[in-house]
Amino acid sequence: MILRTFGWSFAVTGLGLAAAYYFWGWTGFAIVAILSILEISLSFDNAVVNAGILKKMNAFWQRIFLTIGILIAVFGMRLVFPVAIVAVTAGVGPVEAVRLALNEPDTYQEMVTDAHPSIAAFGGMFLLMIFLNFIFTERHVTWLGWLERPLARLGKIDSFSVGVALAALLVSATVFAGQAYQHGGTYADKTSTVLIAGLAGVLTHLLVGGLSGYFENRLEEDDERAAEAEEAARRAGREPSTMGLAGKAAFFLFLYLEVLDASFSFDGVIGAFAITNHIFWMALGLGIGAMYVRSLTIYLVREGTLDEYRYLEHGAHYAIGALALMLLVSIRYHIPEVITGTLGVGLIAAAFWSSVRHNRVDRAAAAAGGGGSGGEDRPAVAERV
C-alpha cells in the first residue's frame, strides 16, 4: 500500500535530488531537500482537507488528481506562478520575467517581495472563506464544542461567513496595507491593491465552491433516486447509470481542489524566496513536496483515516484559519516560515491525539459492555453535539 501510493513520490524525490546534485552540487542538493521539507510541512493541512473532498470522487478522478493534477500543481503553481507574479506586477512579458529569474535573480526577488501584499490578500481571503464555512456549519461531531456550537448557531444567519470575511478584509486593508512591507525594509501604501486582491479571493471561493457544491448536491439527489430505482432496474434486467452527472460533479470538485491547492501553495512559494531565489531549485524542491502532499491525500482516502480519526479534519481547518490570518498579517509584518509550518502541524497533531484518545475511550467502553462513549471525550476537548 505504501509503495503503491507513494511510489511516484519516492521516484520523483530520487530524480529531483540527483538532478540538483548533478547540475549544482551539494549546495543545490541541500537547498532542494530543505524546500521539499518546507512544502510538506506547510501543506500537510492541505492534504487532510483535500482528502475530505477527494473521498467523494471515484477511482478514475482520484487518478486524474494524482496525475494531471500534479502537473498543474508543479508546473502551474511552483514554476509558472512565480514567473507570472513578476510578469503581472512589474508589467513585463513572461519571457522577460523568465530572463530576470535566470539572469537577474536579485531583481526578480525584489519584484516578488513587492507583490506579496496582493498574493497574501488573495490567498488569505480564499483560505479564510474555507475556514469560516467550516466553523459556521452545524456538525454532529465537534472537536472544541464550547467554541464550535455557538459559532454554528451564528452560521444560520444568511451569508454570515461572507460578512465576517469582508470585515476581516476591511481590517487588513486599513491596519496592515497602509504600510505594507516591501523589498529592502521599506513600506508602501497597498490599501487598494489588498482590497481588490482580497475581493478576488472571496469571489473565487464563492464561484468555484458554489459550482462544486451545486453539482455535489445534484449527485446526492441522483444517488437517492438511483437507490429507489435500483430494485426495479434489477428486476428489468438492467442497471441504472449516473455516469454523466457523476462526471460533472467530480470535474468541478477537481477544479475546486486545484484552486484550493493553489491557495495553499502561496505561503510555500513565498516562503521559498526566504531560502533561495533560484527558480529551478524552487521548482524542484516545491515540486517534490507537492508530490508527497498528493500521495498523502490519496493515502488518507484509501485508508479511511478521516473516518477513523474523527477530529483530524477539524484540526486541518483550524490550521487553515491560522494560515489565513498569518497571510493577512504578513502584508505588513514578516512571519518566520517555521512558525507558519509548525503551527499548522501542531493543530493537526492535537486533533489527531484527541481522536486517538476518543477511540480509546470508545474501545474501553465497548469492552466493558457500555456500547461506546457516545462521542463524549471526558476532558471536554472533544465533544459531540
Q: For 166-191, what is the mean pLDDT?
A: 85
pLDDT at 97 over 70: yes
**Secondary element (H or E) of residue 187:** strand 187-188
pLDDT in tens, 248-277: 667 777 877 777 777 667 666 766 665 676
Q: How many Å apart are CA 42 and CA 207, to the nearest integer?
A: 26
Helix, strand or coil, per DSSP, at residue 122: helix
Q: How many Å apart are CA 289 and CA 266, to the nearest integer?
A: 14
Q: For 228-235, what is the mean pLDDT?
A: 66
Question: How confident is the prediction for the chain on average, in pLDDT?
Answer: 78
pLDDT in tens, 45-85: 677 777 777 777 777 877 787 778 777 777 777 778 777 77
Q: For 204-226, what is the mean pLDDT?
A: 71
The CA-atom distances, in angstroms, between 358 and each of 138, 142, 145 are: 20, 12, 14
Percentage of residues of the chain with pLDDT beyond 70:
77
Q: Which residues pair with 384 in a beta bridge?
A: 141
Chain center to CA of 128: 11
pLDDT in tens, 5-28: 788 888 989 999 999 999 989 988
Domains in the chain: boundaries: 2-384
Q: How many Å apart are CA 351 and CA 347, to the nearest integer?
A: 6
Q: How many Å apart are CA 11 and CA 20, to the nearest integer?
A: 14
pLDDT at 169 over 80: yes
Percentage of residues of the chain with pLDDT beyond 90:
12
| Confidence band for 229, pLDDT divided at 50, 70 and 90 | low
pLDDT at 91 over 70: yes
Helix, strand or coil, per DSSP, at residue 255: helix
Residue 101 DSSP label: H
Could you tell me if 365 and 118 are in contact, meaning their C-beta atoms sit under 8 angstroms apart? no
In the block, residue with C-alpha cell 472533544: 382
Q: How many Å apart are CA 57 and CA 367, to the nearest integer?
A: 36
The three three-digit cell numbers of residue 369, written as one number: 459492555
Please enumerate in sequence order all residues whose Cβ is within 8 A of that of 367, keeping only pairs 6 or more positions apart, or say none: none
User: What is the DSSP pairing of strand 187-188 with strand 180-181?
Assistant: antiparallel
Can you give the pLDDT at residue 234?
66
Q: How many Å apart are CA 38 and CA 284, to the nearest integer?
A: 12
Please enumerate in sequence order all residues whose Cβ is within 8 A of that of 48, keeping only pairs 6 or more positions apart, or say none: 300, 306, 312, 313, 315, 316, 348
Could you tell me if 83 and 94 are in contact, meaning their C-beta atoms sit under 8 angstroms apart? yes
Side chain identity, residue 194: V
Can you give the pLDDT at residue 96?
86
Can you give the pLDDT at residue 379?
39
Can you give the pLDDT at residue 320?
82
The three three-digit cell numbers of residue 131, written as one number: 475556514
pLDDT in tens, 278-324: 778 888 888 888 888 778 887 877 777 667 778 888 887 888 888 88
Can you give the pLDDT at residue 297?
80
